[in-house]
Amino acid sequence: MIEMHDVWKTYPDGTTALRGVSVVIDRNDFVYVVGPSGAGKSTFMKLIYREEVPTKGQLSVNGFNIGKLRQRKIPYVRRNIGVVFQDYRLLPKLTAYENIAFAMEVIEASKRSIRRRTMEVLELVGLKHKASSFPSQLSGGEQQRIAIARAIVNNPSVIVADEPTGNLDPETSWGIMKLMEEIHYRGTTIVMATHNKEIVNSMRKRVIAIENGTIVRDEQRGEYGYEA
């Protein structure tokens, strides 16, 4: 599914964000990526969905060598990767329905399948009744649910979630995590960066801890392990 072998990432300003990272994330894993701010978590996530490429080492996602991927192949790789951000990144001038449908329009799905699948995921995230609402008319938790619906509408094999509960209150955060767990049970691999100690310690999934650009801990049913 996701394999990193001695992956390094150095940015143009000379900052080295990852140092010799090697890890394998199997199909249907649920992984928390934790660590102090600036540890390299976001870079780790960006490499998976090919917003960044490794400076050195090998990274493959679903069998594609990310470092040597040709530009024309990038859309094919990203179709199988759903991405969820802390700040939602919904298109403000599109309704909830249109935000989700847009992800299918990009891959030129038929109008009939777009309608059917978009309504399916709206129902899954519990917001079918908000289909015609614009992002500004939704709460933070509702916006994140729409963002998750958009991420899963094309049936990706993996979801990459970078601090998806970072802007949400505790009760709303738990609702989002229950939704993520439901998606995982349906067969999707989830890789989630988080600072939420309570969620990590309560849900007890695999934990990969990064410090100073290196993996210092990789545990099944692990704990957060840092001061939140």
The CATH classification of domain 23-50+80-219, taken from the options 3.40.50.300, 3.90.1150.10, 3.90.870.10, 3.40.50.620: 3.40.50.300
What b-and-e string marks burial along 192-209, b requiring 16 or more CB atoms within 10 Å of the CB? bbbbbeebbeebebbbbb
User: What is the distance between the alpha carbons of residues 102 and 122, in angstroms, rounded to a whole number?
Assistant: 14
Q: What is the pLDDT of residue 75?
A: 82
Question: Could you tell me the residue ranges of all domains in the chain?
Answer: 23-50+80-219
Q: What is the pLDDT of residue 79?
A: 86
User: What is the distance between the alpha carbons of residues 37 and 161, in angstroms, rounded to a whole number?
Assistant: 16
Spans of the chain, pLDDT less than 70: 228
| Average pLDDT over the chain, rounded to an integer | 95
| Three-state SS annotation for the chain | CEEEEEEEEECCCCCEEEEEEEEEECCCCEEEEECCCCCCHHHHHHHHCCCCCCCEEEEEECCEEHHHCCHHHHHHHHCCEEEEECCCCCCCCCCHHHHHHHHHHHCCCCHHHHHHHHHHHHHHCCCHHHCCCCHHHCCHHHHHHHHHHHHHCCCCCEEEEECCCCCCCHHHHHHHHHHHHHHHHCCCEEEEECCCHHHHHHHCCEEEEEECCEEEEEECCCCCCCCC
- Say if strands 158-162 and 189-193 run parallel, antiparallel, or are unpaired: parallel
User: What is the distance between the alpha carbons of residues 127 and 149, in angstroms, rounded to a whole number?
Assistant: 10
Model confidence pLDDT, tens digit, residues 123-176: 999 999 999 999 999 999 999 999 999 999 999 999 999 999 999 999 999 999
Q: What is the pLDDT of residue 228?
A: 54
One-letter amino acid for residue 86 of the chain: Q
